[in-house]
């Protein structure tokens, strides 16, 4: 799961890094704890030069009420045990909630870091995960627009795609990882001419040795907490940075897939 992440608003950096234009509308605030229902900047395939503030938690256009689907599994229902060696088809292309979006409504979700926790403790034992090589990066996301039939209100929403755990999330005992895109693949992800088979090939775990993992405060568990203190390591003199290289054959344990209603994601890192 990836249900919480960090988005520090630096428009000049976003313009330079993603090749977008300065936003015309009001700029949203930075959040060190983007949670389901919050607004965050995304870049969509239909407006690749614009920063747009969408709501975290996808609601398909056909839904009768808001659904807040924060994550979309790359494997769909085909890997219930979260086998890190899974090599079957990307079942997301067949899931009713995602099969249209994965083909025609893809987006980049801008992030500085994200939070995860062990399968059992979840955000009661949070870790901030960020890239070692980039200050800001993107998750592979999908989006949709939902209209409330009763009020006419329009909601633009998005979901972060997840895949099996990489070495970094394995180390903290978490069975999944968000799909982090390489910079060279971001334009391809937004390219509607790219065959679906090539699109699905991008849904791979990001190399764990390029990520830094630090234990942070349990206060991130409360989605109302948005301040910068959340990304400060619990003990800055003892930063937890796992040695990935010697633990490639680590096996996952305790990976139950129980669901909780409206459970927030994890994300965050050392912020700059």
In whole angstroms, what is the distance from residue 95 CA to residue 239 CA? 40
> Any catalytic annotation for residue 116?
yes
Q: Computed from CA positions of residues 238, 211, 74, 88, in that sequence, does the dihedral angle turn out positive or negative?
A: negative
Q: Is 214 a catalytic residue?
A: no
Q: Which of 2, 107, 186, 214 is catalytic?
A: 2
Q: How many residues make up the chain in this entry?
A: 272
Of 124, 107, 129, residue with least CA distance to 5: 129
Q: How far apart are CA 80 and CA 61, in angstroms?
A: 26
What's the token pair of residue 235?
């003990």
Q: Is 266 exposed, middle or buried, given 0-12, 13-18 or 19+ CB atoms closer than 10 A?
A: buried
Rounded to whole angstroms, how far apart are CA atoms 196 and 191?
10
Active-site residue, selected from the candidate residues 116, 167, 186, 214: 116
Would you name the residues annotated as active-site residues? 2, 116
């Amino acid at each position: 799961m990836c249900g919480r992440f960090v988005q520090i608003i630096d428009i000049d950096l976003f313009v330079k890094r993603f090749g977008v234009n300065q936003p015309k509308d009001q700029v949203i605030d930075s959040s060190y704890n983007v949670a389901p229902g919050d607004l965050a900047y995304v870049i969509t395939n239909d407006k690749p030069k614009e920063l747009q503030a969408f709501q975290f938690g996808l609601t398909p256009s056909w839904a009768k009420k808001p659904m807040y689907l924060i994550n979309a599994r790359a494997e769909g229902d085909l890997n219930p045990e979260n086998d890190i060696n899974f090599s079957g088809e990307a079942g997301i292309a067949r899931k009713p909630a995602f099969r249209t979006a994965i083909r025609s409504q893809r987006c980049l979700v801008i992030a500085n870091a994200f939070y995860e926790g062990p399968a059992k403790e979840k955000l009661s034992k949070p870790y901030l995960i960020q890239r070692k090589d980039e200050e800001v990066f993107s998750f592979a996301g999908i989006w949709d627009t939902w209209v409330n039939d009763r009020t006419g209100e329009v909601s633009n929403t998005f979901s972060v795609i997840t895949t099996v755990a990489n070495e970094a999330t394995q180390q903290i005992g978490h069975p999944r990882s968000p799909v982090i895109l390489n910079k060279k693949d971001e334009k391809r992800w937004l390219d509607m001419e790219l065959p679906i088979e090539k699109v699905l090939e991008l849904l791979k775990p990001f190399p764990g040795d390029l990520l830094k993992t630090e234990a942070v405060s349990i206060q991130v568990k409360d989605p109302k907490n948005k301040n910068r203190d959340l990304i400060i390591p619990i003990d800055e003199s003892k930063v937890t940075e796992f040695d990935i290289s010697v633990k490639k054959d680590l096996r996952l344990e305790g990976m139950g897939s129980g669901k909780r209603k409206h459970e927030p994601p994890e994300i965050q890192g050392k912020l700059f």
